[in-house]
């Protein structure tokens, strides 16, 4: 039995709309950002992950500013990441880079200490892993040959993706990638200028976000209070550096 003309038109229209929706969903899934979908983690979880972020950067920073950090009282106590806290591949990369830093190619003379600020710009889920989009800036405080104690040099700030996997009740750092296009980085001696599409650098250069969502900014601020290695984010030291140079230290993106 044939359907009346109007009913056939309605069925055909519904079929077309349904097909369009299915195609649209497929396209949206295909173009979903590679770093995954937004996810919320607890303050304690984020504090644990950020602690690993600082320990990862600390190990590089203290070697970058002192060829013999263990004998330098200002940097010897910096909490550094243990190979067991990273994936085997990342631990091997860290060992390679630290070895190059220790060789003196990137090292500074007349070193004193350093302080690092980090800010979480976004938190994403990638399969069962969690990816933090992190901006970091380190202030190096050291006395040069002319013994001027008020010489401090910040780096220009960088942005990285830190990928974490859940291990029991804790987290393991399994990958680190530069987000912005590298030009020259003291802490990434194995990354070549303008390198992209490798295990260390994203294939595309992502724009810095204009704002950080309020919920992520609040979570990051609460987690920072819980970080166990306060030495690495010594705000008093950084503010002293700021005052000596008479400039802003902030890499904080304004909240929306």
Sorted by where each begins, the domain ranges of the chain are 1-31, 36-245
43-65 and 88-102 helices, crossing angle to 10°: 30
151-173 in b/e burial notation, b at 16+ Cβ within 10 A? bbebbebbbbbbbbbeeeeebbb
DSSP annotation of 219: H
- In this structure, what token pair is assigned to residue 155? 């780096």
What lies within 8 Å, CB to CB, of 188 at 6+ separation is 97, 178, 182, 200
Q: What is the rounded distance in angstroms from the CA atom of residue 61 to the CA atom of residue 232?
A: 10
Q: What is the CATH number of domain 36-245?
A: 3.10.450
* Residue whose token pair is 């987290």: 171
What was the pLDDT predicted at 20?
47
What lies within 8 Å, CB to CB, of 12 at 6+ separation is none
* Residue whose token pair is 């060789």: 103
What was the pLDDT predicted at 232?
60
Which uninterrupted H or E stretch holds 244? helix 235-245
Q: What is the pTM of this model?
A: 0.77
pLDDT digits (tens, 9 = 90+) for 89-123: 999 999 999 998 888 655 555 556 787 888 999 99
**Under-70 pLDDT residues of the chain:** 1-35, 104-112, 141-156, 228-256
What was the pLDDT predicted at 147?
55
């Amino acid at each position: 039995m044939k359907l009346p003309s109007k009913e056939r038109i309605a069925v055909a229209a519904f079929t077309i709309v349904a097909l369009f929706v299915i195609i649209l969903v497929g396209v949206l899934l295909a173009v979903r950002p590679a770093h995954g979908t937004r996810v919320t983690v607890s303050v304690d979880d984020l504090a644990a992950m950020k602690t690993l972020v600082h320990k990862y950067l600390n190990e590089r920073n203290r070697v970058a500013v002192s060829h013999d950090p263990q004998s330098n009282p200002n940097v010897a106590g910096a909490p550094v990441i243990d190979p067991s806290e990273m994936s085997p591949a990342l631990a091997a990369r860290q060992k390679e880079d630290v070895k190059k830093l220790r060789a003196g190619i990137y090292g500074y003379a007349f070193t004193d200490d350093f302080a690092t600020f980090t800010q979480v710009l976004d938190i994403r889920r990638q399969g069962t892993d969690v990816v933090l989009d992190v901006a970091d800036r380190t202030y190096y405080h050291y006395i040069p040959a002319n013994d001027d104690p008020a010489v401090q040099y910040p780096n220009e700030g960088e942005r990285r993706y830190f990928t974490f996997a859940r291990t029991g009740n804790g987290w393991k750092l399994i990958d680190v990638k530069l987000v912005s296009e590298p030009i020259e980085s003291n802490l990434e001696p194995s990354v070549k200028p303008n390198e992209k599409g490798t295990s260390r650098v994203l294939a595309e250069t992502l724009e810095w976000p204009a704002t950080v969502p309020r919920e992520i900014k609040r979570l990051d601020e609460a987690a920072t209070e819980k970080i166990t290695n306060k030495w690495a984010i010594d705000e008093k030291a950084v503010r002293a550096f700021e005052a000596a140079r008479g400039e802003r230290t902030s890499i904080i993106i304004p909240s929306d």
